[in-house]
Amino acid sequence: MGKYVRLRERLLASGEFGEGDFRIPDAASDAEITRAHCPTYLERVAAGRLDAAEVRAIGFPWSERMVERSRRSSGATLAAAREALSRGWSANLAGGTHHAHRARGEGFCVFNDAAITARAMQVEAGLQRVAVVDCDVHQGNGTASIFAGDDSVFTFSIHGARNFPFAKEKSDLDIELPDGTGDDEYLWHLERGLDETLERSRPQLVIYLAGADPYEDDRLGRLKLTKRGLARRDDLVLGTLHARQIPVAIAMAGGYARDIEDSVEIHANTLLAAQARWGS
């Protein structure tokens, strides 16, 4: 959790962002959440009525604060999408809770921010085509399952084949990479995956999960990208979207480097790259 505070501090210290660039998001409402999640699941989360196995799958204990944090984290990605539609890009300094399924949480994810956001943008802004570009080292299995069989939201996940989740779902496009995959090989695959995603979905909005966990010194990731490689990844994704004038809402997703400052730096680089492309 400490990485989020440090990220904000680092962005301020960069001189590229000021206090006025940061907003506290509204929590996602029940109506917004239940477009992506089962109403009974939301009720049970809100009331603290998950059973022990469900709480264990999520990975942290239930509390009122945990519910509020999960609502706010989804609300922040939603706010970022609204902002992106008017100025090109915006970001949630947390979020990327892509392991949350329609009726269950998993892997530190309670509600699926990308799914809630895609649904909200369809309703509020009338978007017909949204794409989720998930570059976290773990597969976006919750997002894939929520949008299975739904042509209006395209799900692309590029991840470690042997990373959690071990039973994977089927995204619209999955690229699974072997342990130890480095910068050049990763970027070769990502470029093709991104092209295919944009070709097949022609999105009006992209939700980009810029996970810092494909990093070579990440405790949970099995890939071997350098910081330079991750910056090239961001340049590829953001540069392509900017060139095609596709708005992007960015969520941070995972990052568990042995030295937490490495994860913070990787996340900060993503936001600085976006700021450099679109301006303030």
Q: Which stretch binds Zn ion (CB under 5 A): 18-26, 213-221, 237-245, 260-268?
A: 213-221
Among 181, 251, 254, 263, binds Zn ion (CB under 5 A): 254
Residue 157 identity: S
Q: Which stretch binds Zn ion (CB under 5 A): 79-87, 120-128, 167-175, 246-254?
A: 246-254
Task: Find the shortest distance in angstroms from Cβ 213 to Zn ion.
Answer: 4
Report 145-184 residues binding Zn ion (CB under 5 A). Answer: none
Tokens of 167: 């039973």
Give the residue with the Cβ less far from Zn ion, 229 or 247.
229
Among 106, 113, 136, 262, binds Zn ion (CB under 5 A): 136
Q: Which stretch binds Zn ion (CB under 5 A): 27-35, 166-174, 212-220, 222-230?
A: 212-220
The answer to whether residue 159 is catalytic is no
Look at residue 232 and give its three-state secondary structure. Answer: helix
> Which residues have C-beta within 8 Å of that of residue 204, sequence separation ≥ 6?
127, 128, 129, 130, 246, 247
- Under the criterion CB under 5 A, does residue 213 sit at the interface with Zn ion? yes
Are the CB atoms for 193 and 171 separated by under 8 Å? no
- Under the criterion CB under 5 A, does residue 138 sit at the interface with Zn ion? yes
Say what the alpha-carbon torsion angle 235, 237, 243, 247 is, to the nearest 10 degrees. Answer: -120
> Which residues have C-beta within 8 Å of that of residue 102, sequence separation ≥ 6?
36, 37, 38, 41, 142, 145, 146
Tokens of 19: 């206090």
- Under the criterion CB under 5 A, does residue 99 sit at the interface with Zn ion? no
Give the residue with the Cβ less far from Zn ion, 121 or 225.
225
Residue 130 φ/ψ region, left for φ over 0, alpha for ψ in the -120 to 50 degree band, beta for the rest:
beta
Residue 108 φ/ψ region, left for φ over 0, alpha for ψ in the -120 to 50 degree band, beta for the rest:
left
Task: Find the shortest distance in angstroms from Cβ 13 to Zn ion.
Answer: 26
Entry field: residues in the chain: 280
- Under the criterion CB under 5 A, does residue 262 sit at the interface with Zn ion? no
- Under the criterion CB under 5 A, does residue 267 sit at the interface with Zn ion? no
Q: Which stretch binds Zn ion (CB under 5 A): 8-16, 21-29, 82-90, 203-211?
A: 203-211
Choice among 99, 101, 159, 242 that is catalytic: 99
Using Cβ positions, the residue closest to Zn ion within the complex turns out to be: 254
Which of the residues are catalytic? 99
